[in-house]
Amino acid sequence: MSGKRPNVLLLFTDQQRWDTVAAAGFDYMQTPNLDRLAREGCVFRNAFTPNPVCVPARHNILTGLTSRFHGYTANNSHPLDHHLPTLPRLLADHGYHTRAIGKMHFQPPRRHSGFDKMELMEEIPRYREDDEYAMYLKEVGWGHVQNIHGVRNLLYMLPQRSLIPEAHHGSSWVGSRSAAFLRAEHGRRPFFLWSSWIAPHPPFDIPDSVADVYREATLPKPLVSETAPSAQAQRQDRYADFPKGEEKTYNRRMRECYFSAVTFVDRNVGVVLDALEQTGELDNTLIIFTSDHGEMLGDHGCYQKMLPYDSAGRIPFLVRYPAAFKPGTAREEFVDLNDILPTVLDVAGIDYPGPHRLPGGSVLRDEKDRTFHYMEYGLAAGRWISIRDASHKYNYYYRGGDEELFDLQNDPCESVNLMTARPDEPDVKERRTALRKVLARFEEKWGPVNYSRGGQLLAFPGGDLAWERTRNGQFPVFPDNLTSEEERAGITPFGDEVVKAVEKEEIVKLHKLDLAAWEKNGAPAETIERIRSEGL
């Protein structure tokens, strides 16, 4: 290894909250392999996403830039500007072997963006031939399953079991493919491996081996707001779609499944770490474990992401690199996904050649003002922005100019919006004014053009704030695009997969769910009739 640049291993999950690693202080979790990273490296206790939704967060990592430059403000779809330097391309240009395994969510999906090879496992592949995991399932005899990552739409946030055996589960596949890459590469040249799991993103299609891990555990209960959450937050209460009157029971089991999905990812992180250690490259590898954003899990009555609250915006961030971090250390300053590209380039000894100033900085050195953390989402009336310091958080919603201010020292659960509860108190006014000025500066520097002018934030008319609440309406796509009639005929009927997914989850009664809304989203009529007629 003499003279060889350090390797880089990015272990990445989707929608994993910050409070899901036992070694970070959350002892209800079973995460022995993540605990190992914390024990042998550093825990960053105040880590956040710059944008709490999949596509922009991942492109912040890929480019090191904010939405203003890469163009992804939400889960929008357009080709990435090929003139922007990307992390894998910069590393490949300096002799790194670059590999992506798992969910990338890049636009378009097959654009390599500097990776020598991508082995994709996307949530809803349009064409099976474009998805290595879907093709793998075909090869091992599971090509007849259409909901390969669990049943979305009707069961999106509900407890369910995987329709794929554990050995072939998506989380297992990312672990085994990553381990195979590490063993094959084995010290020949420096590598950059981005191993990316879909879990614990819903659907929570857990295998049986982890289904009961949290059955008797004392888990945190959903956070409750004392003042009304924002109108944007109230839109997201329907994602769970639990039966009326049984919300608490369903939420508890949903949380168990979510944490079980994290534990199953942890097992496969162990597979990757064992393979790396066997190659003798463990201590010459910068390892970063983190996630694109969190998950509300019913906090403040909300589900999913896309909100400025810590449940959606705060993430785990573990770094193992013996050359720079003593084992078992912890740091309190703000870090976010923007820091990954400059940190990796710093370790690799590569200068950033792009035309734009980077919003992040290497966590190995003092090169970024970490007094504040800025977060953004969306455009026009759907846009919000957020700024926090060590004691307070201020959220601004462009739809109508709504505001939230939270005292994080006395109210870490963000349960009281001071702009609602005590807007006329002098200290509240002072704090609001100070943070709003800082937020406007960040918005002018990193946000879209002309959303802040002369230190003033704009407002957009948005119509009725009580717009229709959102449900997941996504169905599998690739079965309809199969060219073989025989293969199409061999796909398991959708209704059979729905029933199979919940047969071991005794609390789930399909006939109690909102079948009318599901039918409106395009559910097969025969499946709905079967559920009603059989009382499933």
Q: What's the whole-number mean pLDDT along residues 395-401?
A: 93
The whole-chain average pLDDT of the chain stands at 94
CB 159 within 8 A of CB 508: yes
Q: What's the whole-number mean pLDDT along residues 208-221?
A: 96
Does residue 324 or residue 455 have the better pLDDT?
Answer: 324
DSSP string, 247-304: HHHHHHHHHHHHHHHHHHHHHHHHHHHHHHHHTT-GGGEEEEEEES----TTGGG--S
- Asked if residue 466 has pLDDT above 70, the reply is no
Q: What's the whole-number mean pLDDT along residues 279-304?
A: 96
How buried is 294 (Cβ within 10 angstroms: 0-12 exposed, 13-18 middle, 19+ buried)? buried
- Asked if residue 47 has pLDDT above 70, the reply is yes
How buried is 487 (Cβ within 10 angstroms: 0-12 exposed, 13-18 middle, 19+ buried)? middle
Confidence class of residue 187 from pLDDT cuts 50, 70 and 90? Answer: confident
User: What is residue 387's three-state secondary structure?
Assistant: strand
Q: What is the pLDDT of residue 2?
A: 46
Q: What's the whole-number mean pLDDT along residues 11-37?
A: 98
CB 173 within 8 A of CB 272: no
Side chain identity, residue 528 = I
CA distance 97 to 114: 10
- Asked if residue 53 has pLDDT above 70, the reply is yes
Span 70-120, pLDDT tens digits: 998 988 778 888 889 999 999 999 999 999 999 999 878 888 899 999 999
CA distance 109 to 104: 8
- Residue 525 neighbours by CB distance under 10 Å: 9
CA distance 415 to 181: 46
Q: What dotted CATH number matches 380-457?
A: 3.30.1120.10
- Asked if residue 35 has pLDDT above 50, the reply is yes
Q: What is the pLDDT of residue 455?
A: 85
How buried is 262 (Cβ within 10 angstroms: 0-12 exposed, 13-18 middle, 19+ buried)? buried
Span 421-454, pLDDT tens digits: 999 999 999 999 999 999 999 999 999 998 988 8
Return the bridge partners of 148, or none: 150
- Asked if residue 468 has pLDDT above 60, the reply is no
Alpha carbon of 429 to those of 303, 416, 433, 442: distances in Å? 31, 15, 6, 20
Q: What is the pLDDT of residue 28?
A: 97
Q: What's the whole-number mean pLDDT along residues 510-522?
A: 90
Confidence class of residue 1 from pLDDT cuts 50, 70 and 90? Answer: very low
DSSP string, 62-120: HHS--HHHH--SSS------TTS--HHHHHHTTT-EEEEEE----SSTT--TT-SEEEE
CB 435 within 8 A of CB 394: yes
